[in-house]
Each structure stands twice: as structure tokens, then as C-alpha cells.
Structure 1
């Protein structure tokens, strides 16, 4: 939470009108020439005060349908024609492109449980840490407001890092961790937490993605999410659940030839790429895969 502002000086001290919007000239005698100048200044101030306060611009999402590359396993020169790239928050963005900053916001990186306070790791009734078995990642406990605030403080520092490096957006991964929590977390917990992240990202001028979790797409506005990153929605035949909420502002990542073919055939206006499961760099020629429609 931000500290409460200290009370400011009174309107009488500042010369602010009762409406609280503009300074007024104090009553005093002056020569005619100065009266004319004052009148002109007053007119300018009145016009300025009549205009509504400028609203902060909403950060722009990635351009819809732009060629995309997913580089969270390591940075490399983007293939020709690529306009949008996702990289890990510890990596510099690609020059001249729209860059999305990846952060693992709902789970600890493999082997990195010690980087989190022990009570922020989700535990079952026996006290064992609940793990995402597919990736060997400990789930973070976003089940209470206090823990959500503490976890968000750490992730917010990564978002700050993304903004400082020049990224345009952030991708907080594992929004759907509640589905792997053995019932210990709920979708409401996840949404309350991601609202903290989206508010902070927007304060830093970054757009923010909804990662997977198609069942919550209809609530993306309430959750402050600007676009979607959908893994395997071609494979699962559910990209339409994302486009129904986000329109064409959906980035699709497939890991099989079948998934790529289905996504390209049914949603050709989206940004679609196939990558290898480990998202390796081209230096690993044996395992590197990158295909598009």
C-alpha cells in the first residue's frame, strides 16, 4: 500500500478556488496596463481550467497479427520480419521491436524456492510444498491478501526492471496455478493477485498479458489485462475463447505441427508461432524449432 498523503496547504494559502481547480488572482490595486495583462492571463487560466484533466494513456498492446518470436529460453537475433519478441526479464529487449518481458509470477523458478520467504510457498495439509510436476516449480501461496501483497512486491521489482530496460509489456506466467493447487487456491485468489500486478505494470507504462487461463478471459477488463498469450490453443481448439474477449490481440504459441496447422487454419489474423518445448536458441540446432503460418 502507498503511504497516505500528508494534508496540503489550505485553499486560502494557495489561492485555489472553492472548486479546487485553478488559482485566482488576489484583489489588489494595479495600473491599467497591468490590469489588462491580468485580464488576459485570467482568460487563459479560465480556458485551461475548463478543460478536463488529461488522462494517462493506456499502454499499447502488441500490434495484432504481427510476426512474433518467443525467446524465453535465451535471446538471439530475431528472424527477419519479426516485429514482436518475448524475452526473460533478466535479458535486454530486442532493438527496434515491440518487446514483452516474461516473469514467472505465480510459481518459483525450478530450484529457486530459497529465493522466497518460506511461508510464501504453498503447502498442503502435511506441510509439503505443492509443486507443478511438469516443470518442477513450487507454487506461490496467493491465498491471502497479506501474502499476495508480499509476493507482488517481489514481482513488481521485476516489472520495474522490465520498464527500466525499455520493454513495452509484461507477461506474468502461471496465472492458472490455482488449477494445479489441489484445491488450495481459487481463481478469485489468482485474480485478486493479478490485479495488483496489472495496476503496477500500468503505472510503469507497460501493457500486461493474460497468460493462458481461457476460462477467465471474459474478466480481463476487471483484471486489468490488455492482451492474451495463449499456449497450445490450436492444439486444444480453444483460441476462440481468447479472441471472444481480446479480439485479434492474441499471441498464439504452439508446440506441435498439428497445433500450428489448426491455429493457422482457423485464426490466421493472429500472431502465431510454433516453438520447441524448451524454447532453445538456434545455437542448439538439433532441438531448435520455429515455424509460422
Structure 2
């Protein structure tokens, strides 16, 4: 299907970028895209287990459901012992807690609208789009975001999930897919150099390009609801983690699980991704 911005996607409210925005180094020469850092090298990255049972805990860490072998948590959280851990990093937009830090210290890396004001995501107005339009800007963004990636590796995560790859669809024509995939490729090299696998988040129309950029697996939101699951599984096979949401699913979840295109690793969660034990917490899996 054509380019689509899903207005109902879930988002972690992370301070991860805010913790590292002052740690960036100078960019490489103009006209080149960045090489990965060399001081975070560790063991070779391992992709998530195919068809693994998992939980998506961006709303707060909690004990894992029985049988889960993988969990996705925010980069400010700690990994869970004994399972495969994926670390959430917002790679193409700022997080609400980091907005002021970006504007204070990296104002030129925040995309402007036609009037020269910071351009926000209309559905998530506390998030500002990052400017991926130049090689020098992508180099500096890789330095800044690389600090979050390095922290994920240091904490013991096995992989990172990079959100908002499709920010170009919200850029009012200022950014292109090529801009974002150039940064994605740099972040993939950075993650791999740190020993982490890296997951493509959403952007079902661009899974083949995502694989070429270096993504090892995919995290989809509502691919069953939007009839996009086959776009992911054609490229990433059984290494697709799909999260459907209770407030936007127009069929019974059991029917989703029986559909032939539904990834083996599919769960149903509440929109807030509330931790287990809270009254609005929902978790079901195929």
C-alpha cells in the first residue's frame, strides 16, 4: 500500500536521548555519511529467535508472561534476565523529555517548518522531527543517537528497535526516504559494531530497503489491522514482532491469529502498554 502514517502507534516516553545529547563528536567531512564508532565493539550481533513469544513493555517493565523468550523495553529500563532483550530508541524524532535538550544543544539538527519553527509530529506534538537531509547532519545524528545505542549495549540488551523511520512522511516534503535510509544504514552499522542486532520499526512499504540498510528483524504495529503483515514476513520471515492494540482492532484477536499472513510472534496489548498488575493491562498472544 502507499505511504501511511499510523496515527495510533504507541510510543515510549523515553529520556534516553536527553541523557546523551551532549556527548556527540564532530561530524566527518561534508558529503560523506558517518562510519560507526569503534570503541563499542563486542561480540557479533545475534538476530532474535524466529517465532519467539514476546512482550512489548514500553509503558514500564514488569514480570514477563509465561513462556516469553523476548521482551522490548525502553532504553531507560534494564533488560530482563534469561531472555532476549530489545532496546527501544527513537531514532528519527525527539522524545518529549528530550525536546528542550535538543533545542538547546542541537537546534540545527531539528527540522524546521516553512516559517522557521521546529516541526512537530502532528499526532505526537511533543515530538520534533530530526533533520536527516544532509550528510553532515546525519553524521552528527549518528553520534548523538549512537550514545543511546552504546548505553543499550552496555546494559546488556541484544538488539535495538529504531522508531520513526517513516518521519519523512510527516516532514511536509522536507525529507526523503533516501535521507532517512541513509541515517538508518549508519545506525545499523553503529548497532552492529556495538554487537547489537537492529530492528526496523513500521514502514511496511520499505521492508526490502530496510533489509538492504542493515536491519536484522522488524517490529510491526497493527500489521494485521492494516493488512501489512505479508510485507514484513516476505523480507524478515519469522523474525517479525507484531503488536496489535485493543482500541483499534476491528476483529476478534483469535481470527488475527488464524490468518495465514499473521507473524508467529504476534501479541495483543493495551494502547498504553501498561505494566502487568495495572487495571488497564491487556496481554494476549497467538
TM range (shorter): 0.7 to 0.9
Could you tell me how far 1:57 is from its partner in structure 2? Answer: 7.6
Structure 1 distance, partners of 2:236, 2:216, is 8
Q: How many residues align?
A: 240
Q: Give the distance between the partners of 1:271 and 1:67, measured in 2 at CA.
A: 6
Q: Distance in 1 between matches of 2:112 and 2:95?
A: 16
| Aligned match of 2:60 | 74
1:169 aligns with 2:162: no
Q: Which runs of 5+ in 2 are unaligned?
A: 1-26, 30-41
8 A Cα contact 2:220 2:240, kept in partner = yes
| TM-score normalised by L of structure 2 | 0.79
Deviation of 1:238 after TM superposition, in Å, equals 1.1
Residue in 2 that maps onto 1:289? 282
Task: Give the corresponding residue for 1:115.
Answer: 101
What displacement does 1:111 show?
4.6
Structure 1: distance between partners of 2:239 and 2:54: 12
Deviating more after overlay: 179-188 vs 217-226: 217-226
Deviation string 1:132-159 (CA, Å, 9 cap, x unpaired) is 1222211111111111111111111111
Aligned to 2:141: 151
Q: TM-score, normalised by structure 1?
A: 0.77
- What is the CA distance between 1:58 and its match in structure 2? 5.2
Map of 2:258 onto structure 1: 265
Q: What per-residue deviation string (whole Å, max 9, x for no partner) do you get for residues 203-229 of structure 1?
A: 111100010111111123320000010
Query: Can you give the 5+ residue segments of structure 1 that lack an aligned partner in the other structure?
Result: 4-55
C-alpha offsets along residues 214-254 of structure 1, whole Å, 9 cap, x if unaligned? 11111233200000101010000110001111111111011
- Match runs of 1:1-293 below 5 Å: 59-116=45-102, 117-136=106-125, 137-256=127-246, 257-258=249-250, 260-266=253-259, 267=261, 270-285=264-279, 287-293=280-286
Contact 2:242/2:263 (<8 A) preserved: no
Secondary structure in 2 aligned to 1:96? coil
Are the equivalent residues in 2 in contact too, given 1:253–1:272 (CA < 8 A)? yes
Cα distance change on mapping 1:83 and 1:212 into 2, 3 Å:
same
Q: 1:150 to 1:92 in 2, by over 3 A?
A: same
CA RMSD of aligned residues (A): 1.9
Query: Which of the pair has the greater relative contact order for Cα pairs under 8 Å at 6+ separation?
Result: 2
Indicate the SS of the match to 1:163: helix
User: 1:66 deviation in Å?
Assistant: 1.1
1:111 and 1:205, CA in 2 relative to 1: closer, same or farther beyond 3 A? Answer: closer
Distance 1:289 1:119 in 2: 41
**C-alpha separation between the residues in 2 aligned to 1:262 and 1:118?**
47
